[in-house]
Amino acid sequence: MLLLQIDWGLLAEKLVLIGAIITASLVIAMYATYGERKVAAILQDRKGPNRAGPFGIFQPLADGGKLFFKEEIIPNTSNKTLFILGPCLAMLTAMMTSAVIPWGNQIHFKLFGIDRVINLQIADINIGMLYVFGVVSTGVYGIMIGGWASNNKFSLMAAMRGASQVISYELAMGLSFIALLMLTGSLSMKTIVDQQMSGGVWNIFYQPLGFLIFLICAFAECNRAPFDLSEAENELNFGYHQEYSSMKLGFYLFAEYINMFISSVIMATLYFGGYDMPFVNEANLSVNVAAVIGIVALLGKSFIFIFIFMWVRWTLPRFRYDQLMNLGWKSLIPLALINMFITGAVILWRQG
């Protein structure tokens, strides 16, 4: 009886949407490596990848093939089960975050004479951002397990750095989001986008300080320079994935770029209207055309953030570890608390 009650059409839609999002995330992460090398080359006045295909566009395929065909090495003294589980967990948590992101508005089409309406969001849950914070918090276990299972002191030290860094900056990130929550009154990412579309004003204009704190914390959450202390090769001899090779190393590298892409999408959703595009709603376009423009708008905003991630990496030097922790505990958390109190005061003043 339970099988008969399943909406097989809805199930098929969700599976296709999941497959499309995962595929797109992997392709974007793959070409983000190419983009990063090109951005680094521009900033350093050189050409970058230019041999594999026109303008080097096949370089990610060459790098992926190289990782696939490298020798699989598992140290004899490592915990083999956890050694394999670490990169798998990092990759899994990186992909899970995309489940609650609204990638666009509805798409209407007719299949076998039946009108179908597809929501471009895998799950619109009313605690969407809470889910994001929960999954992101779990992602640090991939780093910790990999560093500990390697049975390498440098890897373990790097994993401990990564864990303490994520915990420290998640507090400031959560506090900066609380101020936004006070304004929107919802944890649903779809509702936050709808409010920005209906109000005609993006949240960045209400929460500029909150956005700046969220952006800095996103750098730390993604282990991106200048916050890449868990991969400080000049101090820790390569970092938490020192003992990894082949696609197990590839999973860690891919997880970093997927996290960077998803973080960019989340910031675009929370503070820059998500798939909202100015003047599109007033243009009287068809539903499907407006949805496609919304997807392009969201990806365009995300690519701008990805460029900022890369620009900062190749511009600023790496922090010392004490500077990293001082920034999180002594600067960002107090600023996030001040921003939260100011937001609360403004809301009460408006209500009065």
Sign of CA dihedral 220, 226, 228, 229: negative
Reported as a single tens digit per residue, the pLDDT across 2-41 is: 455 666 667 778 888 899 999 999 899 999 999 999 999 9
By mean pLDDT, which of 117-121, 211-215, 308-312 is the weakest?
A: 117-121
Output the average pLDDT for the chain: 88
Q: Is pLDDT above 80 for 233?
A: no
In the chain, count H helices and then E strands: 12, 2
Q: Is pLDDT above 90 for 149?
A: yes
* pLDDT value, residue 234: 64
* pLDDT value, residue 137: 85
Unique residue bearing structure tokens 């006045």: 45
Band (pLDDT 50/70/90 cuts) for residue 176 is very high
Residue 89 and residue 93: Cα distance in Å, rounded? 6
* Contact between 161 and 118 (Cβ < 8 Å): no
Reported as a single tens digit per residue, the pLDDT across 179-227 is: 999 999 999 999 999 999 988 899 999 999 999 999 999 999 888 888 8
Share of the chain above pLDDT 70, in %: 93
Residue 42 and residue 68: Cα distance in Å, rounded? 29
* pLDDT value, residue 105: 86
164 CA to centre of own chain: 19
User: What torsion, rounded to 10 degrees, do the Cα atoms 271, 169, 222, 319 define?
Assistant: 120
As a whole number, mean pLDDT of residues 236-243 equals 78
Residue 108 and residue 338: Cα distance in Å, rounded? 45
Q: Is pLDDT above 70 for 57?
A: yes
Band (pLDDT 50/70/90 cuts) for residue 1 is very low
- The two structure tokens encoding residue 350: 């408006």
* pLDDT value, residue 139: 85
Among the listed residues 126, 55, 98, 24, the one whose alpha carbon sits nearest the alpha carbon of residue 259: 98
Helix (H, G, I), strand (E, B) or coil at 47: coil
What is the 3-state secondary structure of 90-154? HHHHHHHHHHHCCCCCCEEEEECCEEEEECCCCCCCCCHHHHHHHHHHHHHHHHHHHHHHCCCHH
Band (pLDDT 50/70/90 cuts) for residue 298 is very high
Q: Is pLDDT above 90 for 333?
A: yes
